[in-house]
Amino acid sequence: MPNINSGDTALVLISAALVCLMTPGLAFFYGGLVRRKNVLTIMIQSFVSMGVVTLIWILGGFSLAFGHDIFGVIGDFTQYFGLRGVTIAPNPNYGPTIPFLVYFLYQEMFAIITPALITGAFADRVNFKSYLKFLVLWSLFVYIPLVHWIWGGGFLAKLGLVDFAGGIVVHVSAGIAALASVFFVGKRTILPGESTAPHNIAFVALGTGLLWFGWFGFNGGSALAANGIAAIAFVNTDIAGSIAMISWLLISWIHEKKPTMIGVLTGAVAGLATITPAAGFVQPWAAAIIGLLSSGACYAAVQLKIKLDWDDALDVWGVHGVGGILGSICVGIFAVSSVNGVGGLVQGNVHQFLVQTFGVAFSAFYSFVITYLILKVLDTFSSVRVSVEDEKEGLDAKLHGESAYDLQ
């Protein structure tokens, strides 16, 4: 295969493995944040996505996302069904120097982690059977259409919208879906005197480390080549995550009077989520600004959630939703054509800013409405939420018959 570049292929293969590692990382991150009676329940929701979404991706999901465009709305279901036509030969539209099979694998890892992100919002109170149905339907009716619209040649791509590594496709879609699920499912049942504080901050730290490590593949690999764009995406990822971590620590220290480990970890994730859509379009100085902005915006969103009494248990909306929205709009502000051919307001390109803003608003609205409708339909057949009695006892024991800590 003379068109295959071994360096490009190696980068994307390694990046796919890094993104794969992010889902177990998310399981530890969320697992440490919940109460000890629900640890396995939320961790299995992340791990099971690896199996279920892989099947979806093989059996038509990838084809719907990246198949021949049909009216700018969806891809041809049959073109790549069962990996037909997905071979070691490159596809000129999707990584012209890497095997198309490698591109399939890389995109599959994004598809796996995105719905898993949502679970942090409705932690401790959703039936596992309902979650499995939700996982399938949400992937088919929210995630895959968004992928096609933005990365698969759909109508938003034709308008000129860009999203380097998933600010809209991953973080806005999951973060706004999380908010819709919070409104539909309702608040957790908290017993008198029961603490909802993270039960194992060491797990959260481990998860954050795995996520940060994987994020280099998440953003850097999206260049689909071992080139300067990949290099700048790697650097921007580190800068934004680091700046957001420190600035969140300072903000929370001033507001809460103590420096907390959770503040450090949450700030890092907020910065990493916010830089994602811009990582391959902006200079490092802009990544530093984006990291700084992300900590302020996401911290404010978390405080607003508390004030409004929204039970987004693990702050998925405040961190991923708001971070993804901010980062995607920042592309329209800070992108410079010398990096990757796209200019923003700093270069006088008002059109790109308007396209980014419209794309964010439309995608967020779509994700919220369809997510709510999916939950509504599922609930008409079988309750999405567990019983109050099961919730009080803990879902690990009631739903899975297991305990994360079998201490004698």
Q: Where residue 209 sits, what CATH number does that domain have? A: 1.10.3430.10
pLDDT of 2 reads 64
Domain that holds residue 316: 6-400
Question: Residue 121 has what DSSP assignment?
Answer: T
pLDDT of 328 reads 98
Q: How many helices (H) and strands (E) would you count in the chain?
A: 18, 2
Sequential DSSP letters for 299-335:
HHHHHHHHHHT---TT-HIIIIIHHHHHHHHHHHHH-
Token pair belonging to 265: 């970890």
In the chain, % helix, strand, coil (3-state, to 5) comes to 70, 0, 25
pLDDT of 406 reads 81
Q: Is 270:294 a contact under the CB 8 Å cutoff?
A: yes
pLDDT of 302 reads 98
Cα 46 vs. chain centroid, distance in angstroms? 12
Q: Is 267:244 a contact under the CB 8 Å cutoff?
A: yes
Residue 22 lies in a domain: yes
pLDDT of 408 reads 55
Q: Which residues of the chain have pLDDT under 70?
A: 1-2, 407-408
- Give the C-alpha separation, 347 to 177, whole Å: 33
Residue 75 lies in a domain: yes
Residue 408 lies in a domain: no
* H or E element in which residue 341 lies: none
Paired with 75 in beta bridges are: 69
Sequential DSSP letters for 186-251:
------TT---S-S-HHHHHHHHHHHHHHHHHHHHGGG-SSSHHHHHHHHHHHHHHHHHHHHHHHH
Residue 405 lies in a domain: no
Residue 268 lies in a domain: yes
188, burial (CB in 10 Å: exposed 0-12, middle 13-18, buried 19+): middle
CA distances from 252 to 117, 211, 248, 306, 320 (A): 23, 22, 6, 14, 18
- Give the C-alpha separation, 158 to 232, whole Å: 25
Q: How many domains does the chain have?
A: 1
Token pair belonging to 11: 């980068």
Residue 407 lies in a domain: no
Residue 34 lies in a domain: yes
